[in-house]
Amino acid sequence: GQQVMQIPQYQHVQEGEDFTTYCNSSTTLSNIQWYKQRPGGHPVFLIQLVKSGEVKKQKRLTFQFGEAKKNSSLHITATQTTDVGTYFCARLAAAGNKLTFGGGTRVLVKP
């Protein structure tokens, strides 16, 4: 199937440091979405990328879609304890609009 793979599975970050999580697909993606799930919470939509090479920023979060549209990244600068959670990328299918989620990167922040 058309899966999306995420690395790393876990990320332990010192507060104030930067980190990046990656999402990869073996096939070309028409789009990629990113979600954040706080511990015990539900997925919350962050952003959607559709264009090759697209870069979008939300405060300390920078999202990028690869030129070949086979990978995406989320970079967080100056990590804060509020960034704790699992970050998922997801592929949105055209028909029916089902989301196929990656395995997620679980982020733990050390104060």
Partner 1 sequence: EPEVTQTPSHQVTQMGQEVILRCVPISNHLYFYWYRQILGQKVEFLVSFYNNEISEKSEIFDDQFSVERPDGSNFTLKIRSTKLEDSAMYFCASRIAGGTDTQYFGPGTRLTVL
Q: Does 95 bind partner 1 (CB under 8 A)?
A: yes
Q: Is 39 in the site for partner 1 (CB under 8 A)?
A: no
Cβ closer to partner 1: 77 or 101?
101
User: Residue 97 interacts with partner 1 (CB under 8 A)?
Assistant: yes
Residue number with CB closer to partner 1 (61 or 77):
61
User: What mask of x and - would describe binding to partner 1 in positions 40 to 69, judged by CB under 8 A?
Assistant: -xxxxx--x---------------------
The neighbouring-strand residues paired with 88 are: 35
Name the residue nearer to partner 1 (CB basis): 44 or 55.
44
Contact 11, 108 (CB under 8 A): yes
Q: Which residue has the tokens 């919350």?
A: 44
Cβ-in-10-Å burial (0-12, 13-18, 19+) of 91 comes to buried
In one-letter notation, the amino acid at residue 99 is: L
Smallest distance, Å, CB 41 to partner 1?
7
| Residues 88 and 34: beta-carbon distance below 8 Å | yes
Q: Which of 54, 73, 104, 109 binds partner 1 (CB under 8 A)?
A: 104
Measured from the CB of residue 43, what is the shortest distance to partner 1 in angstroms?
A: 5
Cα–Cα distance between 60 and 100 in angstroms, integer? 26
